[in-house]
Amino acid sequence: MTASPSLPALSLGGDGDRAERVERLVRAYEVMSTIAGMLWPWDNLAHDPDAVRWRGAIVSLHEVEDHLYVAWKDEDHAEKYAKLAELVWSAVGHEGTSVVHENADRGGLNLAAVSGTGPGGWGRA
């Protein structure tokens, strides 16, 4: 649905005001980015090309009926930033809805199997 150099891919499922929902996804990502920059200011200073950094950590955000699906670059990024995504999604008006974490790295760990929360990931079901 939406892709830009600064945003991950954004998509929606279900019904509702699409413009408002996209705006909410963008706002959530921008808040996550701001907080990540405050909590991990040295991320952009690391010279290790394999370092776990915020930039590029999220491959896509998908919203269905107020539930957020986050596709992480890999399990290392999910481990470092998952709680941030959950906190921010709740803060932008979705308290009590789930955040489902998925691993975009096909060769990586199945986050649902690691987290034990069932199909889809680490989210609060």
Q: How far apart are the first and last CA of the chain?
A: 26
For 46-71, how does the pLDDT look when each residue is reduced to its tens digit (9 = 90+)? 677 667 788 889 999 999 988 999 99
d(CA 77, CA 9): 16
For 93-121, how does the pLDDT look when each residue is reduced to its tens digit (9 = 90+)? 777 788 999 988 887 767 764 443 334 44
Write down the pTM of the prediction: 0.79
Strands (E) in the chain, as ranges, are: 9-13, 58-64, 67-72, 99-103
